[in-house]
Amino acid sequence: MKIVKGDITKFRAEAIVNAANKYLEHGGGVAYAIAKAAAGDVYEYIRISKEEMKKQIGREYIEHGEVVVTPPLKLAQNGVKYVIHTVGPYCGGKWDKEKEDKLKLAILGALKKADELGVRSIAFPAISAGIYGCPLEKVVKVFKDTVEQFLKEAKNVKDVFLVLYSETDYKKALKVLKEVENDEN
């Protein structure tokens, strides 16, 4: 697992994860950026996402832990084969065990789907740390713990990246990672 600074829409991984809302209406944040980069037209990508959701889930929304896979379209030029949409918890600045559990489900759902698809590398944004208002420090810790546990049993996934756009978030995430590792030793 690696934390990197960059733009997830330009990141080279076989799969990228979209932190979506449960209706896959990519209206802001990383979801909007991914939809725009993939299709050029956000509304076209929403249409594609909703069609795939109906095929894969059988209804018009996804729950925590469920995922929908869509084609990468223009993101394929970066080597992306799949966009995996997952929904994290809404925190509004508050954090508790229920939100932690929902975030674990969102991360784990995307990891399991990537492994099932035969993906070796996958890039995540900081799910729920943006518009959904979850504390980045908590998101990084849950991400690290979930990924490390998953990689013990993964068949295909080998490289997992947490891609952070801003320098501030990147530095904060590295600090959290260092603190967690120090606590473990």
What is the residue-averaged pLDDT of the chain? 95
**C-beta separation of 65 from 105 below 8 A:** yes
Question: How far apart (Å, rounded) are the C-alpha atoms in residues 57 and 78?
Answer: 27
Give the domain range for residue 73.
2-184
Measured on CA atoms in the order 85, 91, 92, 93, is the torsion positive or negative?
negative
| The two structure tokens encoding residue 74 | 């223009």
The total of structural domains in the chain comes to 1
* CATH number for the domain that contains residue 68: 3.40.220.10
- pLDDT 10s digits, 111-130: 999 999 999 999 999 999 98
Confidence of residue 185 (pLDDT cuts 50, 70, 90): low
Confidence label for 178 from pLDDT (cuts 50, 70 and 90) = confident
Q: What is the pLDDT of residue 136?
A: 95
pTM of the model: 0.96
User: Alpha helices, DSSP H only, in the chain?
Assistant: 29-39, 42-56, 97-116, 136-151, 167-184
